[in-house]
Structure 1
Amino acid sequence: MADPSGTVRVIDADTLDVGDVRVRLHGIDAPEIGQPCTVNGQTRDCGRWARDAVLLQFEGRQATCEQVDTDRYGRVVASCVVEGRDMGAVIVSEGWAWAYRRYSDAYDLDEKAAAVAGRGLWAFEIDRPSDYRAARIQTTAAPDPDCAIKGNISANGRIYHLPGADGYDRTRINLSNGERWFCTEAEARAAGWRASRR
C-alpha cells in the first residue's frame, strides 16, 4: 500500500481518515471518547474535548503520511504532516494527547513542554488513556449516560447497539479491543459501525 495522503477527517484526537485510509497517528495516545476528566471541579468528556480541538486544527486539510505499521484493527499507523507541520508534534505540544512512549519517544519533549506550561490536558485531572483502558477493559455501563450506544466488534464486523434493543444488555464493551461508546447513531456510522440487525 502506498503511504496515505489526502483530505483529513478527524475521528478522535489520535485517529483520522486520510483520503479513504483510516490512520492511527504513531507515537501519541489521546483520551478515549467518553473518557472523563475534571476541570475546575466539573466533569467533562475529555476524549470529545481533545477530538474537537484536533478537528478545529486539521479537519479538511491535506495530509501526507508515512506508514510505520498496521495495528491489530487494520488501521495504518503513520506519522502525518499538514502544511509542513508534524500532526503528532502539534497535538502533543498543545496538550491534546500524550507521547506514547511504549511505541516511540519522538514526542517526549513536546509532552514535557506542554506539561510545564499546563496546556490542554495538563490543566485537567485525568488518567492517561492506557490506564483508563486497563481499568475499563470490559464494561456494560456507559461512562456518560448521554453516550450509551455500544460499539461492539464481532465476527460480523463493527456493530452498534441502541439502548433497549435486543441483546443490548448482554453486549459488553472491551475498550482494549477497540470497542467504544457513542452518543449518536450518526457518530457511530461516521466511525464505521453499522446498526445491529436485532
Structure 2
Amino acid sequence: MAKAAFLTIVALTTTVPAVSADRVTGRASVIDGDTIEVAGQRIRFNGIDAPESWQLCNDAAGRKYQCGKVAADALDEFLAASRPVTCDFVSWDRYHRMVANCSRADGQSVNHWLVRNGHALDWPPYSHGAFAADQAAAEAERAGMWQGTFSPPWEVRAARCGGS
C-alpha cells in the first residue's frame, strides 16, 4: 500500500507544472505568436511582438497570407520539440499577463528564436534592442515575415484596435 501511495505522489509531482512568483515551468499551450499559457497563467514574451492571429502579410510573390497564424503554428512546433517551457518573470502587462523571458527544456530562448526566425519583431520600447541582432539576421535571410512585406504588429493593432 505504501508503495502505491508513493507512486501516486511521484506521478502527481512529475505532471503538475511548477509555478512560483518569479518562474513558471510546464507544458505550454500557444495562444498566439507571442503569448502562451502554462498552468492557467497567460504569459506574454518579453521584448518582442508577433503578428496578430488575424494579421495579413505579403509573401515573396506579393500574395497575402495569415502571418499571425504562421507565427503561432511555428511557435507550437518549436515548443513541442523540447518540453517543458520555463518562463522567468519580468513584469505584468495591462492585461494581467505575466511578461517573461522563456526557454525550452533544451535551454533555447523562445523569445530569441521567434525573432531570429522572422515570426516576431524586436520591440525596442520594451526590449531596449535585446533582439536587434536576431532581427537583423532574420531580415538578411528573408526568414518568416521578412520574405515579403508586412506592417509591424503594434502599428496594425493601433490602426485596427486603437492600441498596442
**Structure 1 and Structure 2 fold alike (TM over 0.5):** yes
Partner SS state of residue 54, structure 2: coil
1:17 equivalent in alignment to 2:6: no
Which structure 2 segments of 5+ residues have no match?
1-20
CA drift at 1:116: 0.9
CA drift at 1:78: 0.3
Cα distance between partner residues in 2 of 1:54 and 1:124: 20
TM-score, normalised by the number of residues in structure 1: 0.67
1:62 equivalent in alignment to 2:84: yes
- Which residue of the other structure, out of 124, 135, 149, is the alignment partner of 1:111? 135
Partner SS state of residue 126, structure 1: coil
Tell me the residue number matched to 1:73.
95
Look up the equivalent residue of 2:87 and give its one-letter code: C
1:8 equivalent in alignment to 2:32: no
Tell me the residue number matched to 1:99.
122
User: 1:16-53 deviations in whole A, cap 9, x for unaligned?
Assistant: 01232110000110000110111213211111111111
Partner SS state of residue 118, structure 2: coil
CA drift at 1:61: 2.1
Higher relative contact order (CA 8 A, sep 6+): 2
User: 1:123-159 deviations in whole A, cap 9, x for unaligned?
Assistant: 1211000111111125xxxxxxxxxxxxxxxxxxxxx
Cα distance between partner residues in 1 of 2:84 and 2:43: 14
Q: Where is the strand percentage greater, Structure 1 or Structure 2?
A: 1
Percent identity of equivalent pairs = 36
Partner SS state of residue 114, structure 1: helix
CA drift at 1:3: 1.4
Cα distance between partner residues in 1 of 2:44 and 2:71: 15
Tell me the residue number matched to 1:90.
113
Cα distance between partner residues in 1 of 2:42 and 2:123: 19
> CA RMSD, aligned part only?
1.5
Cα distance between partner residues in 2 of 1:68 and 1:120: 27
TM-score, normalised by the number of residues in structure 2: 0.80
Larger Rg: 2
Cα distance between partner residues in 2 of 1:132 and 1:2: 32
Aligned length: 140
- Contact 2:62 2:148 survives alignment (8 Å): no
Cα distance between partner residues in 2 of 1:8 and 1:106: 24
Runs of 4+ in 1 over 3 A off after TM superposition: none
Cα distance between partner residues in 2 of 1:27 and 1:49: 20
User: 1:32-89 deviations in whole A, cap 9, x for unaligned?
Assistant: 0110111213211111111111111114820111100000101000001111111101
Q: Where is the helix percentage greater, Structure 1 or Structure 2?
A: 2
